[in-house]
Amino acid sequence: MTNNLPKKRKKRILIFSTAYYPFVGGAEVAVKEITDRLAGDFDFDLITAKLKKGLPDREKLGSVNVYRVGVGSSFLDKILLPIRGAFLTHRLNKINNYYCFWGVMVTFGSIAGYIFNFFRSFSFKKKIPIILTLQEGDSENHLQYKWGGLISLSWKIALWRTDFLTAISNFLLNRAKKNGYKGDCALVPNGVDVSVFSKEIDQTEKEVLKNKLNKKTQDVFLVTSGRLTHKNGVDDVISALVNLPTNVSFIIIGKGEDGQKLQKQARDLGVSHRVKFIGFVPYSDIPKYFSVSDIFIRASRSEGFGNSFIEAMAAKLPVIATPVGGIVDFIDDRNTGIFCSPDCPQSIVKSVHLLLEDKNLKDKIILNSYKRVEERYEWTNIASQMKEVFKKI
């Protein structure tokens, strides 16, 4: 007997993110990894800023229908995204009748959902529930004083109008509560595809990369990945090189506003031949650079979570980090990593020497950190946690 019952329609969720692929950061990776794994349970649309000329206004990326608004100007598209995004939300909701909104960070993108609900209230229609995910890694000073306090004000308004809050670290959950949030919330960290970062890299590929980077047998490579910005403390690592053995070099993966300043610093300190600025590297190629490196380091001044750390841990690299923000959720000093002090190059020197001179400690950290990532931060587990959040709405 044929079952002619209509197929049950999946609930549809509209995501707001100021940037999305091909622009890749921790938040963008999180959205893609989670939506890919929940495609059987929900349908996903996403509104974002175009930011660059030539990108299509609409396309399907993975499991998400992406809608880009703007003219391809990074500054202008961000500024106009709250209003243009709200109008697009109005059009899309007439067709899709969204189950809920999912805002990624308190930023231009997520504000569009709050604006839509604000105007919806004038027509006496029920607002669409908003889930807000905090991913911000900026300092408290940035939050309170940037743009004359407008960021702090937008946080307070967004938290007031949020129906369910998730954050990628306990640090960000506590920050939200300090800023007045009293509603339902959950810790849903970012994750890592352990199979990608722990995969054995072909020896021939490794040798080619070593030759490209001019790595000799006795050389030690410190490596970092992320934006070249003040909060990530790249400058402190460069300063530390002066007091580290001459066979220690620093591999920097990423771009950012501090790039030229950091290159000048390396020249002025006489260590430019030991600092290798790699620039942008496709996400899929980062494990290759990790495979020819010896220690991952980021001397962060602030950190919401820090995807790069758990990626390095999954790649079985020992990690040196600062005990700030969300980092303390996954690193225990001398157990799953080594802590150094922020704004203290000499502390970095001591931490590097500790790992170079104590092989037993280094091996213990590699084993424990890999186990922690595997148990807590695999994307499949993170997606399951987010699925429960969606169901509660």
Architecture of domain 11-191+379-392: 3-Layer(aba) Sandwich (3.40)
pLDDT per residue as tens digits for the range 67-94: 999 999 999 999 999 999 999 999 999 9
Which of 179, 268, 170, 278 minimizes the C-alpha distance to 221?
278
pLDDT at position 149 is 54
Residue ranges of the chain with per-residue pLDDT less than 50:
1-2, 147
Q: Which residues contact 32 (CB under 8 A, 6 or more apart)?
A: 21, 61, 62, 64
pTM, to two decimals: 0.88
**Which class is 194-376 in CATH?**
alpha beta
Q: Please tell me the predicted confidence (pLDDT) of residue 45.
A: 98
51: left (phi over 0), alpha (psi -120 to 50) or beta: left
Which residue has tokens 């967004």?
158
Instruction: Tell me phi and psi for residue 299, to 5 degrees.
Output: -90, 60
Sign for the CA dihedral angle at 269, 273, 279, 281 comes to negative
pLDDT value for 144: 61
pLDDT tens-digit map of 339-390 = 999 999 999 999 999 999 999 999 999 999 999 999 999 999 999 999 999 9
CA 45 – CA 60 distance, rounded (Å): 9
Tokens in use for 255? 């771009």
**Residues of CATH 3.40.50.2000 domain(s) within the chain?**
11-191+379-392, 194-376
Single-letter amino acid code for the residue at 325:
G
